[in-house]
Structure formats: C-alpha cells, structure tokens
Amino acid sequence: METFPITRVRLPPMKTSHDTTPIGYKEGQEVEVLSAAQTGEHQGFWKAVIKEIKGDFYVVSCLPIDTNESTMDLKNYTLDDIYTADKIRAINPNPYLSVNPFFKLVIEVPNDLIAKNLELIQKSQTHEHFRRALAFISVTFVDHLKSLVCIWLAPNPIDHWIQITKRRALVLSEI
C-alpha cells in the first residue's frame, strides 16, 4: 500500500445529494482530471485546461505541478490527453491538509452481545444511527478486535472537542 504525506491530501469537494445535473464545461476552463502520473501509479486529480470538447470526450492539457496560477500561459502546457466526462470535475476549492484531521475511537463490544447478535453486528446498516448521531465518517465492527472502530473528522483538532465526542460515543454504546 502506498502512503502519502498528509500535506498532499485534500478533502473532496462537497457535493449535495440532490445535485445530479452534469456541469457544463467550456473550452479554456480549468478543471481537474482523474489520472495517474505514470503507468502503475495510483490515480489522483490533476489540474488541467480543457482544449476541445467532442460529445462526451474532452481533450485536456494537464498543468505542470509547479504552475503559478497567476501566470498561466496555454503555450506552456505539454501533456495533452483525452478523457471522458466521468474523469473530469470542477476545481476542488479545499486546501491541502496541514495536520491530520482524522481520529479513531475503538469501542469494545461485550462478548455476550457478540455471541447473541454476531450477524447483526457485522452489518454496517446496524450502526447507521450511531454513526449519524455522532457525525462519524465510518463505524465498522472488526472481528479480530471484537470492537467497533469509529472514524471521524475534526476540522479543528481541539482536545476538548475530541474528549466530548469520545464520551458521547461511550455513553451511546452502553445504551
């Protein structure tokens, strides 16, 4: 598994669940394309400019990583490629992360509860209300730990807020 420093990671752009209309891209517009820098590498979103549109296909010029956005010149773009609409998105407005905003909480599940309800505990839908009540990103039962592993995002990692969330989770888990 390849790991990346947290400073190379951005949260995805917010997308509302009711927003299903495709974005009308235009030639010359800056976008991001889902691509790998080299064959065999993981894909990521790269800044690009749309040069031409033909139906559902887009000819784009990928921007160099060190491009200063205030001095963009279309003649300096070198990597042209063709992408389908599902590989293109609007520019992500979120900044790169400076600290790790993700936190993990492990809640041990009692053995008697596991013995009676193992199949139910293993289903992700079982924990959906618990996940929503505490604004967790993920709540998963891990068999070998016999625990629920909860992941959440704290945009501003404040120790007090983290402790409150942990206490709320433990209180709800005892119910």
Q: Where are the domains of the chain?
A: 6-89, 102-174
Q: What is the pLDDT of residue 69?
A: 47
Tokens of 38: 């080299």
pLDDT at 22: 58
| 6-89 and 102-174: identical CATH topology | no
Tokens of 33: 């394309």
| Domain covering 6-89 assigned CATH 2.30.30.140 in the classification | yes
pLDDT at 72 over 70: no
Class of 102-174 in CATH: alpha beta
Name the more confident of 93 and 162: 93
Mean pLDDT of 51-69: 79
